[in-house]
Amino acid sequence: MPKYDAFGREIGEDTLEGLGGSPARPDSAWEERTEREEASWEAAEAVEVARLDAAATAKDAQAERAEDARQEAAGDSRWTAPATDDAKRRELAGQLSGVLNQAATGRATGTPTITARRSGAARGCLITIVVVLLIGGAALAGILSLVSSVDISTDGIEKAIKAPAVPQLAGPKPKGLEQDSLVRKANVAAALRQLSAMEDAKLANLRLAPERIDATLLTKEGRLRHVQITPGGKLERFGSDGSPGFDSVPTIPFSSLNAGAPQRLARRGAEEIGVPISELQYAVPQDISGKTRWVVYFTRSRYVIGDGRGRFERKYP
């Protein structure tokens, strides 16, 4: 005998039977739909990522070709670069190197090269000299000799460092990539020929600024030689070569330096940072594990890094 529930329906009876329907399985249908949609989204996303990557690669290649094509045709900037404390500090460091070389030469030859400002103790001796002059001139020579033997004081060293170690250029200095700028390709090429022609000398350090090129060379005797090139191609050597013992100083092969790299990177770097090219300060090459890199500095400690050909890689900050 069939059993019925409280509503009079036979237990186990399918109330939808005969209506052409079938029992619904909402959970299974929803899962199948979700899986299909996720698969479609993943496929669409993969296609879009591939498209964006291809577009970015094509844009970079086009920008690089355009940069190479216009670098020589671009006009010089009319902006002027303001002087900064950072540039002054770097110039001061270069001057210190020349002063120290002069001091070493003076010690070797017995000729004084630095005139020191006397300390407070020395000034006291001078007062004593005045008193002694009133008493008699006999002791004057001895006291003067004592005062003259006072060692160089800290104030004297500061004075020597701040004194210009290199002659100042007459007239306005070139800025950015103006015609006479020593960062331009033709001027860099001429300077590299001059430096590489120096007998048995390797390049230890190079700094290219619009107004001058500073270089440190390593001689075959292991001595350091400081030279400078100014607009017009004038090469000047500062003092005699330093003491030997610098054989292990790392050097940069002249053959690895691309003369057009500093100019190319300077133009692109100014665009990337968003400053006029006149804010260019200087460029230096770096040899890292046998691979050359260029670094170009602008005002307010901003700089960019590029490869050996001067192609832009990244900027800081």
- The mean pLDDT value of the chain amounts to 74
**Half-sphere exposure (CA, 13 Å, Cβ side) for 226?**
17
pTM over 0.75: no
Model confidence at 176: pLDDT above 80: yes
pLDDT at 173: 92
User: 107-166: per-residue pLDDT in tens?
Assistant: 544 544 444 444 455 555 555 554 445 455 544 444 444 434 334 343 443 333 333 444
pLDDT at 124: 54
Q: Which residue has the higher pLDDT, 79 or 170?
A: 170
Taking Cα atoms as reference points, which of 232, 190, 197 lies closest to residue 211? 232
pLDDT band at 230 (very low <50, low <70, confident <90, very high): very high
Distance of CA 158 to the CA centre of its chain: 27
Count CB atoms within 10 A of the CB of residue 281.
24
Model confidence at 202: pLDDT above 90: yes
Model confidence at 223: pLDDT above 60: yes
Q: Give CA torsion, residues 96, 97, 103, 106, to 10 deg.
A: -140
Instruction: Pick the most confident of 31-45, 76-90, 142-156.
Output: 31-45
Q: Which residue has the higher pLDDT, 274 or 73?
A: 274
Total count of residues recorded for the chain: 317
User: 304-314: per-residue pLDDT in tens?
Assistant: 999 999 999 99
pLDDT band at 199 (very low <50, low <70, confident <90, very high): confident
Q: What percent of the chain shows pLDDT beyond 90?
A: 41
pLDDT at 105: 53
pLDDT at 215: 97
Model confidence at 251: pLDDT above 50: yes
Instruction: Pick the most confident of 7-11, 171-175, 176-180.
Output: 176-180
Torsions phi, psi of 184, nearest 5? Answer: -70, 150
Mean pLDDT of 218-242: 93
pLDDT at 95: 61
Taking Cα atoms as reference points, which of 99, 238, 102, 92 lies closest to residue 157? 99
